[in-house]
Amino acid sequence: MDVVNPATGETVETYETDSSAEVEAKLDRATDAFETWRDRPLREREELLARAGEVLRENKHEYAETMTEEMGKPISQSIGEVEKCAWVCDHYAEHASAYLEPDGHPSPPGTRVKTVYDPLGPVLAVMPWNFPLWQVFRFAAPYLVAGNVGLLKHASNVPGSALAIEEVFREAGFPEGVFQTLLIPSSAVEDVLVDHRVRAATLTGSGPAGRAVASTAGDNLKKTVLELGGSDPFVVLDDADIEAAVETGTWARNLNGGQSCIAAKRFIVHTDVYDAFVDRFVSEVEALVVGDPTDEDTDVGPQARAGLMTELHEQVEASVEAGATVLTGGEPLDGDGAFYPPTVLADVPEGCPADTEETFGPVASVYEVDDEAAAIEKANDTEFGLGASVWTEDRHRGEAIARRIDAGCVYVNELVKSDPRVPFGGIKESGYGRELSEPGIKEFVNRKTVWVN
C-alpha cells in the first residue's frame, strides 16, 4: 500500500499488505481475545476506553499529522477530529453501563424476566478514508466496550491512520487481539466476512461497497450496519437568518474539502431570499483559503486522491454542459497536488450529475424554489436519505418541515453532524442501522431474554 501525499503527489510511505497466513492469525487472535474480553467486567472495559481517550489527547498532534499527510485534511481539522474521537471514548466510558443495563419485563408472580445485552464476537469494520480516525472510533468505542472485538479493514490510502488506531488501544492497555487492523485490499474483504469467526460487519462507504457487504453478510446470516452516501439538502426559507445560514452553509459544504457524506450539497433557497443568499454565499466561498493542509490558516486542502478530483471535475463539466452555471470555481487549480477550488453551481438542470449524484468534494448546487412545499419536494427528490438542514426563524415551522423530510437526521438552524449523544444513520440509499448513543451500542449485541422461575 503506497501512501501518496495528495498535496504534493509524492509517495511518502509504503506498507506491506497482510499475507493470508497473517490474516488467519489475526482472526484466531480475535476469537481467543473475545472469550476473555466478553467476561471482563463492564466497568473495567469502560476504564480502558477512558484511557484510550487520554492516549488520543496525549498524541493528538502526531495522529493529526498522519491524517493530513495521508489524505490532505487541513491540520486544524485533523486535530479537531482526534479530539472528537477522544470525546466518543469519554461518552461511552461514562454511559455504557446505563445503556447496557438489563431491562425488566412484566412476569408472573415469583418470576423474574429481563433482557440482557451480550456481545456477539468479532466485528469486521470496513471504513473509508475521509475521516480516518473518527469513522473508526464511531464504531469501535461502543462495540468494544459492549464486549465485542474489532477487526478493521481501512481504506488503502490511510494505512498509517489504521495502525495508529491500533496503537491507541494497545497503549491504553486493551488486551492483545481485542482490536486489530487488517492491511488487506478490498478484494479480500469477502473472504474475511464469510469466515465463521466473524459474527457481524459494519461499513461506511459507497453504495456499491455497501451492497456487496450486505449481500455477502445476508447470505451468511450476519448482522450489518451500513452508512453510505448522501446528497444532503440545505433548505433556506423566506424567514431564515441569511447571515447565519450563509456562514454555516459555507462550512457545511467545504469542511474536510467537501469530502463528507453529511456535507450540505444541495442548497434549496426560497425565491424571496435567493439573490441575497447566493450573493453572500459566493463571497464567503471565495474567501476560503485553499492550500497547504499543514498550514493552520488553510480552510480547504487537496482532494484525497488525484483520481477523486478528476471524477469530481467530470461531474461539474457534465453538469455545465447540461446547462448549469458556474458562479465560482469549477476548474482544478494549477500546480502540484489534487486541489479543487470551492465551487458553486446555479441553474442546475434536473437529472445532471450535480443534481442526482453525490458530489464528493467542494461543489455546491443552488436551487431557487417558490414556496415551502416546493422546498420539501426538492429536498426529498433524491435517492439518498442521510441528513438535512433547515433554516427558519420559526422553530416550530422548522420542526414541522423536519418531520416531512426523508432523512435519518434533520437539523434546524444547524449543520448536519454526528454527535456521540444522538443516534446517527440514514434511510433509502444512504443505508440502514444506527451508530452512536444508545441505539449504536445495541446494534451488535444479543438482546437475550432471561426468564427465571
Catalytic positions, please? 227, 261
Where does the chain hold its CATH 3.40.309.10 domain(s)? 232-412
CATH superfamily for domain 2-228+428-452? Aldehyde Dehydrogenase; Chain A, domain 1 (3.40.605.10)
Banded model confidence at residue 307, pLDDT cuts 50, 70, 90: very high
CB 104 within 8 A of CB 431: no
Averaged pLDDT of the chain: 98
Amino acid at 345: L
Where does the chain hold its CATH 3.40.605.10 domain(s)? 2-228+428-452
* Separation of alpha carbons 354 and 322, rounded Å: 10
Q: Which residue has the cell 446494534?
A: 443
Each residue's pLDDT tens digit, 10-43: 999 999 999 999 999 999 999 999 999 999 999 9
337: left (phi over 0), alpha (psi -120 to 50) or beta: left
Each residue's pLDDT tens digit, 379-407: 999 999 999 999 999 999 999 999 999 99
Banded model confidence at residue 259, pLDDT cuts 50, 70, 90: very high
CATH superfamily for domain 232-412? Aldehyde Dehydrogenase; Chain A, domain 2 (3.40.309.10)
Tell me what pLDDT residue 165 has: 98
The secondary structure of 380-432 as a DSSP string is T-SS--SEEEEE-S-HHHHHHHHHHS-SSEEEESS-----TTS-B---GGGEE
Tell me what pLDDT residue 65 has: 98
| Mode of pairing for the β-strands spanning 2-4 and 11-14 | antiparallel
| Average of per-residue pLDDT across 354-366 | 98
